[in-house]
Structure 1
């Protein structure tokens, strides 16, 4: 009897322990499943490179939106370093932010960090460039922007001439612009690409790679820069070579610096296809709020249209 009683007690204890563990597991699962914030009280904004005025504009709008909804804002600059962005997301997870808005340095490389954030219940919205694993992607229609810029360049060349392409880092946003440009060029068989090199998306490397290409290619009439900093660097290279009367340049962004250059007499820079960084942030915050309220939009990829700004219409352009 004593042995039987001991076995009964042991079995009962084991059953109780099993039920307790099962109860803990269910509780954890419920917590994970219901961890999406009910309100956006804190926002983490991650930009690629704050030296680019495009991202300064994002920061400015993020401050406006955070104040508007009563949320705290933390802005981080990756300085074009994937490891920095990975660490920044880890910090945001520790801080338990509700919404991360990120312009990813590497759309695939940041996926594990984004997944960690989402598993922690954080809403993640990719802006400017796609990022795998994000809840939503909000960006310029890059193919349209590249198409607009190279169409305008080709038209101003009269449909014939040799051009250079100042490419950039291999992220989707930029590859889309190059794709759009080359699609446009198919309509102008008289326009030939005689050189293409990648900058680091900034004015300094735009200047250096264009200088190299101009040295290698004496017969050039036009240049497409895949963003304004690179295009403005290209324009400076043209000016330093004393060829501003022979070569015209277009870009993509619609940046304040591009606007100034369009207004400058004698510049080789003649046009830019717009982006709207502030609208990207506004849309990202709206997506976050809707998701927190249980109204997650069905559309998770939002493309913002681009327009061409030239010397003829720059006075009508509102800018960033």
Structure 2
């Protein structure tokens, strides 16, 4: 009996000792599908994911695809990643409701699917910024900066869930100020500096001077500021979402951009990988949405605020 018990405990010990090795071998092949690597935000998010993947498996292979916000291109790229036998897919979807079929296909092949930055039907879990909160905080700050009254604009962007939530949050904040006149929420800055510049020029032509503008990301805020300066509208105040290094510096310098709700793309990428590893180890996809809160960057804290930086080299 003692010999038998000894053999049993020996077998259990062998299994327990093997577990770390097994865990360290996963993930092996990771697909990362984002909307645009032209956007520094997604560069930082991808870097965060890569660094976390290497912590779990230094030999892991990561394949990154960028779709330039094209649903059709992104679906095609995901199918190509599935052909490469990936075991983990990190996806920042270019549309909330059009990826269910391909993501279900991935899960049937045993791939763990984690959404990042935006919601996507079919993802097992998703980690994203609390974008509703971000829009509310920024637009409340803007409203108070103009004493609760004035002509304002919302500059939208790609119609993904993060943008829609930020716009909804902004509107909810401004609804508390009867003196706020929302002129438009239709101008689309496409998430880029040039797009923000063009959208602001169009809005100025249509509506004339405005007191405040909410842009859905920092890149659009920078383009919007350029258009306002070019048009001679130096008093218009701008609020945004990202907390990028360029905008934090602009806020600290006293520019027309006076507030931005910070995001942490690197942390988001890292958290996405952690969620995937946990599911692989038998964890549950609860909660389905993991929300990361934001911090307002203003003139009061911009000089000391640690902004994310897409140009930082990999660790």
Matched, 1:305 2:266: no
Tell me which moved more, 217-226 or 130-139: 217-226
Q: Which residue of 1 aligns with 2:221?
A: 231
Displacement, 1:312? 1.5
Q: Which residue of 1 aligns with 2:150?
A: 161
List 4+ stretches of structure 1 deviating above 3 A. Answer: none
Q: 1:84 aligns with which of 54, 68, 73?
A: 73
Q: Does structure 1 conserve the Cα–Cα contact (< 8 Å) formed by 2:125 and 2:285? A: no
Matched, 1:279 2:267: yes
Q: Which residue of 1 aligns with 2:168?
A: 179
Q: Which residue of 1 aligns with 2:44?
A: 57
> Distance between the aligned counterparts of 2:119 and 2:41, measured in 1?
16
> Distance between the aligned counterparts of 2:222 and 2:112, measured in 1?
36
Matched, 1:117 2:84: no
> Distance between the aligned counterparts of 2:148 and 2:53, measured in 1?
47
Matched, 1:202 2:189: no
Q: 1:222 aligns with which of 192, 200, 212?
A: 212
Q: 2:126 aligns with which of 111, 125, 137?
A: 137
* Residues 97-140 of structure 1, C-alpha deviations (whole Å, 9 max, x = no match): 11111100111112211111111110001110000011011111
Q: 2:85 aligns with which of 96, 110, 115?
A: 96
Aligned residues: 281
Q: How does 1:70-81 map to 2 (within 5 A)?
A: 70=57, 71-81=60-70
Q: Which residue of 2 aligns with 1:192?
A: 181
Displacement, 1:58? 0.8
Q: Does structure 2 conserve the Cα–Cα contact (< 8 Å) formed by 1:166 and 1:231? A: no
Q: Does structure 2 conserve the Cα–Cα contact (< 8 Å) formed by 1:62 and 1:73? A: no
Pick the structure with greater CA Rg: 1
Q: Which residue of 1 aligns with 2:138?
A: 149
> Distance between the aligned counterparts of 1:271 and 1:194, measured in 2?
20
Residue segments in structure 2 that go unaligned for 5+ positions in a row: 1-24, 309-315
Displacement, 1:155? 0.8
* Residues 191-247 of structure 1, C-alpha deviations (whole Å, 9 max, x = no match): 111122122111111110111111222231111101111122111111111111x21
Displacement, 1:296? 2.6
Q: Does structure 1 conserve the Cα–Cα contact (< 8 Å) formed by 2:124 and 2:285? A: no
Q: Which residue of 2 aligns with 1:17?
A: none
Q: Which residue of 1 aligns with 2:31?
A: 44
What is the TM-score when the length of structure 2 is the normalising length?
0.86
> Distance between the aligned counterparts of 2:302 and 2:252, measured in 1?
8
Displacement, 1:281? 1.2
Q: Which residue of 2 aligns with 1:248?
A: 237
